[in-house]
Structure 1
Amino acid sequence: MKKIICNGLLAFALVVGYGCDSNPKASTETAATDNLSGSGEDSSAASTTDSTMNETPTSTPANDFMLKAASGGMMEVTLGKMAQEKGSNADVKAFGKKMEEDHGKANSELKTVAASKNVTLPVELLAEHQKHVDELSKLSGADFDKHYMSMMVEDHQKDIAEFEKASNMEDPDVKGFATKTLPVLKMHLDMAKKANDKVASK
Structure 2
Amino acid sequence: MKARTLLAPLAWAIVSLALPAAAAENAQTFVNKAAAGGMFEVDSSKLAQERAKEQQVKDFAGKMIADHSAANETLKKLAAEQKLQVPAQLDATQKSDIEKLQNTTTGFDQPYVEMQRSAHADAVNLFQSYAKEGDNPSLKAFAAETLPTLKMHQDMIEKIAAADAGMPAVKSASTPKPPAPVPGANSFTESQAKNRIQDAGYTDISSLAKDGQGIWRGQAKKDGKSISVALDYQGNVFAGQQ
Check whether TM > 0.5: yes
Percent sequence identity is 35
Structure 1 consecutive aligned stretches of length 4 or more whose deviation exceeds 4 Å: 55-58
Residue 157 of structure 1 is aligned with which of 121, 145, 157? 121
Q: Is the 8 A contact 1:163 1:182 kept in 2?
A: yes
Higher strand share: 2
Name 2:7's counterpart in structure 1. Answer: none
2:39 to 74, 80, 83: 74
Distance 2:83 2:165 in 1: 44
Q: CA deviation at 1:166?
A: 0.8
Decide whether the 8 Å contact of 1:89 with 1:199 is kept in 2: no
Q: TM-score, structure 2 length as denominator? A: 0.58
Q: When you count helix as a share of all residues, which structure comes out higher?
A: 1
The answer to whether the 8 Å contact 2:49/2:58 transfers is yes
Larger Rg, first or second structure (1 or 2): 1
Structure 1 alignment gaps of length 5 or more: 1-48
Partner of 1:25: none
Work out the CA distance in 1 between the residues paired with 2:27 and 2:97.
24
How many positions carry a matched residue from both structures?
150
**Aligned AA for 2:93?**
E
CA shift, 1:200, in A, is: 4.4
Cα distance change, pair 140–89 in 1 and its aligned pair in 2 (3 A): farther
Distance verdict in 2 for CA 1:107–1:200, change over 3 Å: farther
Give the secondary structure class of the aligned counterpart of 2:39: helix
Q: Secondary structure at the match of 1:118?
A: coil
The alignment's TM-score, normalised by the length of structure 1, stands at 0.69
Higher relative contact order (CA 8 A, sep 6+): 1
Distance 1:123 1:151 in 2: 21
Q: Does 1:167 align with 2:123?
A: no
Query: In structure 1, what is the equivalent of residue 83 of structure 2?
Result: 118
CA positional deviation for 1:201 = 3.2
Unaligned runs of 5+ in 2: 1-13, 168-242
CA distance in 1, matches of 2:85, 2:115: 28
